[in-house]
A and B are shown apart, each in its own frame.
Chain A
Amino acid sequence: MDASEVEFLAEKETVKIIPNFSLDKIYLIGGDLGPFNPGLPVDVPVWLALNLKQRQKCRIVPPAWMDVDKLEEMRDLERKEDTFTPVPSPYYMELTKLLLNYASDNIPKADEIRTLVKDIWDTRIAKLRLSADSFISQLEAHAKLDNLTLMEINTIRAFLLDSLNCMYKLRSNQQPGSSKGQFTDF
């Protein structure tokens, strides 16, 4: 899976916007949106919010978790705990990048938020690598991926799956009696 495909999935998340135009309810396959009234906040998917924002038709209200104090708290918790802590949104990385790139004027302290989210991301990736290593070295057969987001899994997926595949084959060497290990005569 490509990172941009993960981003595409993230664009289905809803975000609150304050439009500056009026429009009746619009009926789409994915659900009904609106009605839009100037000054009244309304929930729309991120892709629509960004499109309206680029045409300067709305102001984006940042999600509640996109706040310096809350993110600092989360970062400290993430650093303290050995396991993965719950994240505010399953697409926190993608949403931060999208919203900060296109609507940084609507988000207070955009730069600090960017740094904090990056810190959280780095801590989590380091943990992910640590747990992948212990997963391999203890010859575990399954792992619980609680609180991991799609983007995080996606960065390590290709490598981890290929390694597990190799390891499975090297492990099956140890049981030469199994029918898979027998080589067919030419």
Chain B
Amino acid sequence: MDTQSYLPVQPGVGMEENFLSLDDILLSHERLPIRTECSFPRLGFLDKSSDSQDIPEGTKMELPLWLSKGLYEKKRRVLSVELPKVYREGWRTVFNADPNVVDLHKMGPYYYGLGSQMLHFDSPENPEIAQTLLQTFMGRFRRNMDSSQNAYNEDTSALVERLDCLEKALFSSGQSGLNSFQSWEKGRASQLTASSLVLNYRKRKINDIQP
């Protein structure tokens, strides 16, 4: 049984993010291509490529997801968000053709998470994006399951390098099932071992505590 000193919060995956999930925090820093729909006075320093004081209307720039999500509003058009190219028509055809050949780590690494977040921006292609995300996940499921349930005691870095972060988490939960079964079968589960917490614990010296 693997014990950890803390329980990480799982990513929210869908339209909602988990506030305390480290993956979702990293995800919210992904950059999105946007186009400003009104001028932003005195925010010119955000756009490094121009020297003007303001950001004029119609500028194309990149903003992190958290900022675009906060600024985006359906009624007052502040900015419009363009789809990153992996979610556009061309790549969607690739994903629908054979999701197994795509290197999602290079594309993402938060392909599913970012794709679900893109649905906030009311693009007309939303239903297709949601459909492609689901199809991609289903198409890659079998390979992910087989590799996670069969790779025992071997280097898995080649297997996980093309996986999205979400799939990596699934892979490791598949591995934990396999490892616990294998260690039981080999009789290693019946041996008592010290908890990793105890092993990591060192006695505190009085000098370390007092400044």
Contacts and interface: CB of A to CB of B under 8 A. Distances in A.
19 contacts: A2-B184, A4-B189, A7-B189, A129-B146, A133-B141, A136-B141, A151-B181, A158-B176, A162-B170, A166-B137, A166-B170, A169-B12, A170-B13, A170-B130, A170-B134, A170-B137, A173-B119, A176-B126, A180-B14
B177 A167 contact: no
Nearest to B116: A173
B86 interface: no
B130 A159 contact: no
Contacts of B149: 125, 129, 155-156, 159
Contacts of B166: 166
**How big is the B interface, by class?**
35 or more
A87 interface: no
A159 B127 contact: no
Interface in A3-28: 3-4, 7
B15 interface: yes
**How big is the A interface, by class?**
35 or more
Interface of B: 1, 12-16, 69-70, 112, 116, 119-120, 126-127, 130-131, 133-134, 137-138, 141-142, 145-146, 148-149, 166, 169-170, 173-174, 176-178, 180-181, 183-185, 187, 189-190
A139 B134 CA distance: 10
B177 A157 contact: yes
B45 to A, nearest CB: 23
Interface string A42-54: 0000000000000
Interface string A158-186: 11001101110111111010001111001
Given A156-B177, A173-B130, A183-B16, A167 B138 contact: yes
Interface in A88-138: 97, 101, 125, 129, 132-133, 136-137
B142 A133 contact: yes
Nearest to B180: A3
A155 B182 CA distance: 10
A154 interface: yes
Given A166-B170, A170-B14, A173-B119, A3 B183 contact: yes
A125 B146 CA distance: 11
Contact of B189 (A3, A155, A156, A172): A3
Given A170-B116, A174-B131, A132 B145 contact: yes
Contacts of B69: 183
Contacts of A133: 141-142, 145
Given A139-B138, A174-B134, 5 more contacts: A2-B189, A154-B181, A169-B14, A170-B134, A173-B133
A159 B145 contact: yes
B61 to A, nearest CB: 21
Contacts of B183: 3
B1 A2 contact: yes
A182 B70 contact: no
Nearest to B70: A186
A155 B184 CA distance: 11
B184 A3 contact: yes
Contacts of A170: 13-14, 112, 116, 130, 133-134, 137
Contact of A4 (B12, B134, B184): B184
